[in-house]
Structure 1
Amino acid sequence: MKRAFGMLTFVFFFLPFGVRLSKNQDYDEMPAAPPPAVENCDGIFLSYDFLSRTKEYPHVKNATAQSWAFNSTARVLNTGKFELKAWKIFIRFQHEEILVNAGGAVLMDGDDFLAAVGNGSYFSGSTQADLKASIDTAGDFTQIQVKIQLSGTQFGVKPPGIPMPKTIRLVNDGYKCPAPTHRIMNCERKPVISDLPPEKANDTIVGRIPYCCRNGSLLLTILDPSKSKSVFQVQVYKIPPDVNRAALYPPEKWKIVGTLNPDYKCGPPIRVDATEFPDASGLPAVTTAIASWQIVCNITRPAKRNSRCCVSFSAYYNNSVIPCNTCACGCGDNKRCNPDAPSMLLPPEALLFPFENRTQNALAWAKINHYNIPKPLPCGDNCGVSINWHVNTDYMSGWTARITLFNWEKINFENWFTAIQMKKAYRGYEKIYSFNGTLIPELNHTIIFQGLLGLNFLMGETNGSDPTKDPRVPGKQQSVISFTKTQTPGITIAKGDGYPSRVFFNGEECSLPTKFPMMSNGNQYHVNMVEIIRFFICSLITYAFGRLFN
């Protein structure tokens, strides 16, 4: 029994883009390359490509009654060893199609166009009834393939739905077709390409590419060179009239975006030497690209832009937490809150709750401590990731801090990293206990932290035990950091020397509070010289009078 393979492909727009080449080409014009699924077919390959449609008159409110003019292409390709005589295919339409034209084929039931084919129809060749084998024609596509240009009217499927036929099959005797597979092709002018998650690394269809599947997370080269690059492969096809396979056009106007990363400005593609990369088969060999371009993207510093992460400060000597700034990561609907009011001090346990669940804690804490309560209440920080820096201890020879990362996003951050800049305490850094710590002196006294092996996932937010009443639970990572004062004489932790001056998460700079925790339950740690002089004078007078009357 011979085999035939069917594939349904969705195509939305025409866009000449580029194509993968093989070496030793000495021609200029060739038909467009077939889909990669052809490589697995050793019989007859069928495909149906939906190209476009336009809304027809009359325009009606009932979606099922609205008519659309459509264009599509059906292909029959002989990938076997034997010639296919008098090819015949069946297309099972299912949207009340009325066929107006079928260039390259005829309807086998003898109907003329217009033909109602809503329940399917059989097609056979008109000018090319037989398809020769590739072996006998040196791979001449004009003899081994036929293309049927279909146009007509269909009903009932409004965008973004895709009105595909139910099935397509070869009906010649001696061939058996499996169920067709569906593959969506993206032909947008500005496609968004996302990195694959790690679990796709060994996928037989999209994985098994060296350096693939980083989930969008790239580490600095100084941290781990093997995780500083991400590779992905895109299958690109050419569509008439641009079918010159030797002409390569690289994508332009690149832009890097992400959930949590800085802004980048990318330059134009520049042709460079062909890239060499490990062979995907795993053999000790390298594969050389046909052509390579380099696009350089640099971090930009926009004049005004909201952060995507924020920092809160707390300390052992103060019961209150200074939370993230109001609207640190932007404010959406602020009709019920004050975007200009400073954030309210919180009890430490409130950091574990989403902002919308902190209101009662903040109000109760303000009443207990006699803090001012703004009206309306300040808006939230609206950040996907927040970091708490807590001064844990302070003694004569050293001090410790605790850093806690909260992930309020739904996604996981694999191979996350955070960086802090300590202006005065940097030289005193000793050790971080639950993370990896790396000193980067050339980067303005920066310390970079990463999760240990097996703890390098900052998990996403999850529902509480009872979603109907319990607040959502953020993903969390935490570690204690120790510092010595031997290398930093004169350092004063409570006056700000024990707090980072800049904090980054995955390269994104986080918003910092504008003040530090105060000493003694809210009394600021400073000295009032007027009060001291007044107290000193009063003490002298009291002492003098005491001596006078004794």
Structure 2
Amino acid sequence: MKGAFKCLAVTATLWMSFFLIVDCYDPLDPNGNITIKWDINSWTPEGYVATVTIFNWQQYRHISTPGWLLGWEWTKKEVIWNMVGAQATTQGDCSAYHSDPIPHCCAPNPTVVDLLPGVPYNQQVSNCCRGGVISSYSQDPQTALSAFQITVGNAGTSNTTVALPVNFTLMTPGPGYSCGPPTKVPASQFPSTDNRRVTQAFMTWNITCTYLQNLAQRAPTCCVSFSTFYNPRITPCAECACACASNSTVTAMSGATESTDTCIDPNTQYDDLPAISTGDSIEKSSQPDILYCTRDMCPVKIHWHIKTNYKEYWRVKVTITNRDFSRNFTQWTLTLQHPNFDNFTEAFSFNYKGLNPYGIYSNDTAVFWGIKYFNDMLMQAGPSGNVQSELLFAKGKDFKFSNGWAFPHRVYFNGDDCVLPELQDYPTLPNSSPRLQMSITCRVSMAVIGLSLIVLFV
């Protein structure tokens, strides 16, 4: 009996591990992760000074305002004497210290945040102080990292006496990262500014954090709708794509001073809506979204419109709409998978980078983001709550409008997988074009006229 129970437990653990691995794997960014590097650069009488760097190797997922929260647990009785470029959110119990100054943080499980821009120069280190905002690697490799310096006491003063912190956590405005255990790796090397001398850290640890969408949110956050120039029918977002609006939540808000419901009547005039402040902290950003009541109840909608068909090119208009009154999306990304990106020509008001996840297959994926100071911020729902661009494609050998080929296969917004319509709902080609119908009508008319003339003259 005991052996059977043990076998069952092992089987259950294996299945749980399998599903966790599947959820970690992103076919469009198979090598994407966030790596935390902990470099010990010097020793102190009771500990060390380290530089902690957060690298975002993800191609299209970024960390937006209000930024990251990094936490861990000490394995001994370590304290943080000083920090530069970041600060602990709580001081903890430092009553055992009677020195002046006392430690910066005595908590056994500290949580650290980045400093805001504009702090005094003596509180900064390289790559710090951006409010915890880290861009994706595709958008800007120079800002796809964040760093701070930490002075640790009661920690040991050699490679053999220092203990690694454990149980690292990385929280973002949408907490969805799972961090593995710290691993000792070859010590980092740092070239000098003139590249004539290379220094080396005493010890280096790496912690790898992977994105899990089921931790970020249980329901999708975006949906996709379609339309074309050749079919008047618009394919809306799938019903209940992100949630379902019940009759009790669909209520008129005109003239109201505050909202107590989960969504707002779409007939409400924008000027009549209650004042809603956007989240400026992780606590506020985790509050429920305040949306218009729609059939799909998604905070963000992406619309793909096939606009024009030329002889050698075809053009698409893409619109991103923010329907969330409680959130602005800064440094947003839109990732599209489509077989014609091998022949992509131009994006007219978005930045663009092609992705080749596996290196040996054709490029069918691209990431887009806003142009700085033009459309890099997607404002909350309302008149300014959308950005748009037109995409121009050259016609490849596989080009066609039939069978849904011209619509994207996958769509991600800010790294979250968006819900696509069902294939049977896609706009279809007409049975025959107006030009063809006109041609047939003309031919029939000419034939009738010709027969009439023959009969007349006979």
Q: What TM-score results when the alignment is normalised by the length of structure 2? A: 0.54
Given that residues 324 and 513 in structure 1 are in contact (C-alpha distance below 8 angstroms), is that contact kept between their aligned partners in structure 2? yes
Alignment counterpart, residue 336 of structure 2, candidates 420, 434, 456: 420
Question: 1:547 maps to which residue?
Answer: none
Q: Which residue of 1 aligns with 2:63?
A: none
2:304 alignment counterpart: 389
Q: Where do 1:187-226 residues align within 5 Å? A: 187=107, 189=109, 191=111, 193-195=112-114, 200=117, 203-204=120-121, 206-210=123-127, 213=130, 215-220=132-137, 224-226=140-142
User: Is 2:405 the partner of 1:405?
Assistant: no
Pairing 1:131-146 to 2, within 5 Å after superposition:
none
Q: 1:310 aligns with which of 215, 223, 234?
A: 223
Match 2:364 to one of 445, 451, 454: 445
* Counterparts in 2 of 1:316 and 1:50: CA distance versus 1, 3 Å: closer
Give the C-alpha shift of residue 228 in structure 1.
3.0
**Count of residue correspondences:** 325
Give the structure 2 partner of residue 75 of structure 1: 98
Partner of 1:481: 391
Pairwise mapping of residues 229-378 of structure 1 onto structure 2 (< 5 A)? 229-234=145-150, 238=153, 244=156, 247-259=161-173, 263-276=176-189, 288-300=200-212, 305-318=218-231, 321-330=234-243, 334=246, 336=248, 356-358=264-266
The answer (yes or no) to whether the contact 1:428–1:488 under 8 Å persists in 2 is: no
What is the CA–CA distance in structure 1 between the aligned matches of 2:197 and 2:243, rounded to whole Å?
Answer: 50
Provide the alpha-carbon RMSD of the alignment: 5.1
- The Cα of 1:508 is off from its aligned counterpart by 2.3
Instruction: Note closer, same or farther for the CA distance 1:23–1:75 as it changes in structure 2 (3 Å cut).
Output: closer
Aligned residues of 2:410 and 2:417 also touching (Cα < 8 A): yes
Could you say if the C-alpha distance between residues 458 and 34 of structure 1 is closer, same or farther in structure 2, counting changes exceeding 3 Å?
closer
Inter-partner Cα distance in structure 2 for 1:274 and 1:229: 19
SS of the residue corresponding to residue 477 of structure 1 reads: strand
CA 1:27–1:357: 2 relative to 1, 3 Å? closer
For residues 114 and 129 of structure 2, what CA distance do their matches in structure 1 show?
8
* Identity between Structure 1 and Structure 2 (%): 25
1:23 is matched with 43
Query: Compared with structure 1, are the counterparts of its residues 234 and 389 closer, same or farther at alpha carbon in structure 2 (3 Å cutoff)?
Result: farther
- 411 and 337 in structure 1: CA distance in 2 versus 1, 3 angstrom threshold: closer
Q: 1:404 to 1:74 in 2, by over 3 A?
A: same
Given candidates 429, 432, 436, the residue that maps to 2:351 is 436
Compared CA separation, residues 311 and 249, structure 1 to 2 (3 A): farther
* Matching residue's letter, 1:204: Y
**Secondary structure, in 3 states, of the residue corresponding to 1:437?**
strand
The structure-2 alpha-carbon separation of the partners of 1:267 and 1:34, relative to structure 1 and needing over 3 Å to count, comes to closer
**Alpha-carbon deviations, 1:355-378, whole Å to 9, x = none?**
7343689xxxxxxxxxxxxxxx98
The structure-2 alpha-carbon separation of the partners of 1:437 and 1:205, relative to structure 1 and needing over 3 Å to count, comes to same
Q: Which has the larger radius of gyration?
A: 1
**In structure 2, what is the Cα distance between the partners aligned to 1:315 and 1:453?**
30
Distance 2:180 2:78 in 1: 32
User: Which of residues 506, 512, 518 in structure 1 aligns to 2:427?
Assistant: 518
2: CA distance between counterparts of 1:329 and 1:505?
14
Secondary structure of the corresponding residue to residue 224 of structure 2? strand
1:161 paired residue number: none
Partner SS for 1:23: strand
Q: For 1:498, which of 406, 412, 417 is the aligned residue?
A: 406
Mapped partners of 1:404, 1:196: distance in 2: 34
CA distance in 1, matches of 2:357, 2:387: 27
Report the alpha carbon displacement of residue 390 of structure 1 after superposing the two structures with TM: 1.7
CA distance in 2 between counterparts of 1:308 and 1:296 reads: 25
Higher helix share: 2
- Distance in 1 between the 2:172 and 2:126 partners? 22
Instruction: Single out whichever of 393-402 and 245-254 deviates more from structure 2.
Output: 245-254
For structure 2, the residue ranges without an aligned partner over 5 or more in a row are 1-37, 49-75, 85-89, 251-261, 270-291, 433-454
1:56 aligns to what? none
TM-score, normalised by the number of residues in structure 1: 0.46
Do the aligned residues in 2 keep the contact of 1:414 with 1:458 (CA within 8 Å)?
A: yes
Partner SS, residue 499 of structure 1: coil
